[in-house]
Amino acid sequence: MEEKTNQFLGEGQIGRLMRSYAVPCIISLLVGALYNIVDQIFIANASYLGSYGNAANTVVFPLTVIALAIAVMIGDGCCAFVSLCLGRKRQAEAQKSVGNSIVMVVGCSLALCAVYLVFSDPIIAMFGGTVNEETFRYSKEYFFYIALGIPFYMFGQALNPIIRADGSPRFAMASTLAGAAANIILDPLFIFAFKWGMMGAALATVLGQVLTAGLAVWYITRMKLVKPARADFRMDAGVCRKTLLLGVTSFLSQVSLVASMAAVNNMIRKYGALDPVFGQEQYAQIPMAVVGIVMKFFQIVISIVVGMAAGCIPIVGYNMGAGKRRRVRELFTRLLISEAAVGAAALLIVELFPLQIISIFGAANESAYYTGFAVRAFRVYLCMVVFACVNKACFIFLQAMGRAVSSTVLSMVREIVFGVGFALLLPVSFGLDGVLYSMPLSDALTFVIAFCLILWTYRGLEEKMVELPI
């Protein structure tokens, strides 16, 4: 029965399979990204919050990414492992991975929630929340309620790729859509009607996450291809290791982004204080608020890019497991072309329409300094976004093929060596502009390495199939 259910991954038309799996994944990730983005839009347009609330949202954002990093490590690792197992007809291992992954995400989410609640003040300070008193106050209020929702957020995010691996990408998309829709409805109600401020924005987000997590729990009891039994929830060190190894790239790509954002936020705080304009108390929060908006736009682009690549994980894993390398090669080619096209479209938008993007985030309520810095930030920070898109596709595709080490090393070089390194070094010579230069330089240099890995991957897919350990 199982073979008849999933063998289409090794036989169906590649383009059709890409669309059927990637589109729901893109929508799921876009909707997931909208949680924080929608919060920031409504916060920015609330006159009683403004750029202070915007800056607070930017401070807390990396802390939600840490939770996401752990969740996707478990979820994407399980998705890749299950897909490889199904391609090799190892049903029992696939079921064990799902059961163990559910236990892992529950345990990790509760632990992270406790850490956030106990150490909230130093954590907020670590991510630049002390830029001024108002920003710190808003950050604390927002972070407290977001931390309470961490277990629901992580559970929903981890189960999303597992549900896709089970052959239900549309349900994965629908569950995320439902939560985001609830957030969009509740945000204006809580922020504008009830005047709950940062607490209202956070509560709207958490209630949406609770709905998504509830739908994931419902699906677990009705899984199609992989139906874990009670015994599959007993922890197995070997299965956990294999699952996490395949998901470690997703983890590092997210958590290293946190390190990069922490470096950027602190450099903004440090060198903004030395700037003749942003060194003034009433303007101190502007650079942090603006860079946060730029990163939100970039998050939308990356959600599309990652969705296209991550949606292909079950297809890649099954065909690698079944030894069908020609199909994997064709899929890789289509994916790279698509990712480059997304990057080109994003580049045109940020270079031609920065003012229109800024206006969505309440620029009408801000000073000319806010607008001027925002235009420059969009055009400089994202000028190499095409390379960024191709790099991300390369990370995830290698992961899906089972080449976790290559994928992990490339991701670490981009986010830690280049991302953190340039964010710390360039401002020494170029001040606030150095922070903006750090991202395009990192993406350009990473692409040089990624291009070599892409050529190596193509050559490998031409060789005789070699069994990959999983």
Q: 468 in a domain, yes or no? A: no
State how far the Cα of 230 lies from the Cα of 224, in Å rounded to an integer: 16
Check if the beta carbon of residue 53 is closer than 8 Å to that of residue 197.
yes
User: CB atoms < 10 A from the CB of 257, how many?
Assistant: 24
Residue 405 CA, chain-centre distance (Å), reads 20
Q: 107 in a domain, yes or no? A: yes
Check if the beta carbon of residue 247 is closer than 8 Å to that of residue 74.
yes
State how far the Cα of 68 lies from the Cα of 63, in Å rounded to an integer: 9
Q: 299 in a domain, yes or no? A: yes
Q: 183 in a domain, yes or no? A: yes
Q: 374 in a domain, yes or no? A: yes
State how far the Cα of 144 lies from the Cα of 142, in Å rounded to an integer: 6
| CA torsion angle 291 296 53 263 (round to 10) | -40
Q: 190 in a domain, yes or no? A: yes
pTM above 0.85, yes or no: no
Written as six digits, the tokens of 468 are: 């990959």
Mean pLDDT by 10 residues, the chain (470 residues): 57 84 80 76 84 86 89 90 84 93 97 97 90 91 96 95 87 89 94 94 95 96 89 94 84 74 87 88 86 87 86 82 84 92 96 89 74 93 95 83 77 86 93 93 95 87 52
Written as six digits, the tokens of 437 are: 């230069």
- Residues 6+ away with beta carbon under 8 Å from 157: 32, 67, 68, 71, 72, 75
Q: Is 79 helix (H, G, I), strand (E, B) or coil?
A: helix
State how far the Cα of 467 lies from the Cα of 470, in Å rounded to an integer: 9
Domain of residue 114, residue span: 14-462
Q: 3 in a domain, yes or no? A: no
Q: 4 in a domain, yes or no? A: no
Domains: count for the chain: 1
Q: Note the pLDDT of residue 362.
A: 67
Check if the beta carbon of residue 189 is closer than 8 Å to that of residue 249.
no
